[in-house]
Structure 1
Amino acid sequence: MTINNVSLSHHGGEEASGLLEELCDAYADAYGVEPGEEKTVAFRRRAEKQFSRPGFALVTARDGGRLVGFTFGYTLPAGDTHWWGGVQPEPTADFLQETGSRTWVLSEIEVRRAWQGRGTGRALHDAVLGARGEERATLATGPDAAAQPVYESWGWRRVGRIPGDEGDYYSAYDLFVLELPVSW
């Protein structure tokens, strides 16, 4: 699929592993940091763990062969999940129930700075979520993340806040949910 001269491609976990260096480079550029800095090193660790998770999917955006953006995520496992741990305000037990096919986590959506504001992020978002069969998707952002109004404009709703874990980038995260399938 091609949108605004940017071609989108879907990938599984094995392919994602082979793209890790490109993903790290694009991630660093999106945040204006060097690929070896702490933020990118933390991204690498998270990404490597997620490539083998059930339901993992990656969508990449390329312009002239160069990786200019990507998004990926995975399906939450059945039973108890750390994802909803400590969310406030506390939702209903039914909301927290995970079946192994109910909720897909939009873990990362990153676009190189020079391609931001051109619709690349939205195209990635729509491509990855349009291919999902789960009932809903979820994502977490820092409490003051500039992307929050963007997510809300795309139909996401804030459901609460969770405390961050020791060593996390933020001390708390806002959780959002989007019902699937989405009709844009």
Structure 2
Amino acid sequence: MAINDVSLTHHASDEAAALLDELCDAYADAYGVEPGEEKTAAFRRRAEKQFTRPGFALVTARDGGWLVGFVFGYTLPAGDTHWWDGVQPEPMAEFLEETGSRTWVLSEIEVRRAWQAKGVGRALHEAALGARSEERATLATGPDAAAQPVYESWGWRRVGWIPGDEGDYYSAYDLFVLELPVSR
């Protein structure tokens, strides 16, 4: 299970739908839940919506053909994005402006438990963000997410928090931003 045994592949949105069952299985493993549980079903619903968003991109990591991790996201549209709604502390208006090519949302980055802490997540992160032409990337995490220190070590900076929507896992999410391109 060395990182050099893992191959990374970029996929467009039309390929992502064909990989959805594998993505759900890897997602469930990353969280230590059964593939049929509600957490995985919620992931499936989110993923299906995101596959059709502008700027969608998926990078998969495979070891011997086995999907061991993935990252995907999409570009925020111009104008009202909902992404920044209610962000606190309230940033300057320029920060919130979206052009349709300014910000890429890193929506999911997941690695199966047996491959965690082996560099797979970092390789996926760099492969996905290194291919982006946007000015910046953003992500949201739960306030107690164990991954927050990892994101910060990769150069992400916390810019505030946003309230969660009805039915979300958390009542609030921490927001992070990373300037692009990613320096290696």
TM-score of the aligned structures, taking structure 1 as reference length? 0.98
| TM-fit CA distance, 1:169 | 1.1
Query: Are 2:5 and 1:5 equivalent residues in the alignment?
Result: yes
Alpha-carbon distance between aligned partners in 2 of 1:22 and 1:134, rounded to the nearest angstrom:
28
Query: Are 2:97 and 1:97 equivalent residues in the alignment?
Result: yes
| TM-fit CA distance, 1:13 | 0.6
Alpha-carbon distance between aligned partners in 1 of 2:182 and 2:50, rounded to the nearest angstrom:
24
Q: Which runs of 4+ in 1 moved over 2 A?
A: none
Helix, strand or coil at the partner of 1:162: strand
- Equivalence for 1:149: 149
* Residues 3 and 118, structure 2, Cα contact 8 Å, conserved in 1: no
- Residue deviations 1:133-164 (CA, integer Å, cap 9, x gap): 00000000000100000000000000000000
Alpha-carbon distance between aligned partners in 2 of 1:115 and 1:162, rounded to the nearest angstrom:
31
- Residue deviations 1:38-97 (CA, integer Å, cap 9, x gap): 100000000000001000000000000000000000000000110000000000000000
Q: How does 1:10-89 map to 2 (within 5 A)?
A: 10-89=10-89
- Equivalence for 2:170: 170
- Equivalence for 1:111: 111
Where does structure 2 lack aligned partners over 5 or more consecutive residues? Answer: none
Alpha-carbon distance between aligned partners in 2 of 1:146 and 1:3, rounded to the nearest angstrom:
22
Alpha-carbon distance between aligned partners in 2 of 1:3 and 1:180, rounded to the nearest angstrom:
24
Helix, strand or coil at the partner of 1:84: coil
Alpha-carbon distance between aligned partners in 2 of 1:77 and 1:56, rounded to the nearest angstrom:
12
Alpha-carbon distance between aligned partners in 2 of 1:76 and 1:179, rounded to the nearest angstrom:
15
- In the alignment, residue 65 of structure 2 is paired with which amino acid? G
| TM-fit CA distance, 1:3 | 4.3
- RMSD (CA atoms): 0.9
| TM-fit CA distance, 1:4 | 2.1
Q: Equivalent pairs: percent with the same residue? A: 86
* Residues 160 and 175, structure 2, Cα contact 8 Å, conserved in 1: yes
How many residue pairs match? The answer is: 183
Where does structure 1 lack aligned partners over 5 or more consecutive residues? Answer: none
Helix, strand or coil at the partner of 1:82: coil
- In the alignment, residue 110 of structure 1 is paired with which amino acid? E
